[in-house]
Amino acid sequence: GAVVSQHPSWVICKSGTSVKIECRSLDFQATTMFWYRQFPKQSLMLMATSNEGSKATYEQGVEKDKFLINHASLTLSTLTVTSAHPEDSSFYICSFISGGNHNEQFFGPGTRLTVL
């Protein structure tokens, strides 16, 4: 399957600071990428859909000014958590859709964010 990387794999920050998470597709150019959040023992919740060169589409209840998404190229998307608070602590996972007719979605390894 396709390879997706995320950086960093974990981060600890103080409340009020901003954190940027990078997601890269290593062997495929992705026009569409997704960002998910996962709380302990819960399933994945879609936060937003990111299309290269255009603004991201956010799911209901997700603050677009707090979770900034940039999909500047076909291989890189970033999620910036601005003015992070303890309730933003979670596991953030990116994914992208493969090409062709299969429309399969491949996920990154995730980033564990802890806000103190």
Those residues with Cβ within 8 angstroms of residue 90's Cβ, 6 or more apart along the chain or in another chain = 37, 38, 39, 113
Q: Which CB, 17 or 42, lies closer to another protein?
A: 42
User: Does residue 101 sit in helix, strand or coil?
Assistant: coil
Q: Which lies closer to another protein via its Cβ, residue 75 or residue 92?
A: 92
From the list 24, 56, 110, 113, which residue makes contact with another protein (rule: CB under 8 A)?
A: 110
Q: Is 4 in the site for another protein (CB under 8 A)?
A: yes
Exactly one of 81, 84, 93, 115 binds another protein (CB under 8 A); which one? Answer: 93
Return all residues near 83 (Cβ < 8 A) that are at least 6 apart.
16, 17, 18, 66
Which H or E run includes 77?
Answer: strand 76-81
**Binding residue for another protein (CB under 8 A) from 43, 61, 65, 86?**
43
Provide the minimum distance between the beta carbon of 22 and another protein in the complex, in angstroms, as a whole number: 14
Q: Is 106 in the site for another protein (CB under 8 A)?
A: yes
Q: What are the φ and ψ backbone dihedral angles of 20, each rounded to 5 degrees?
A: -110, 135
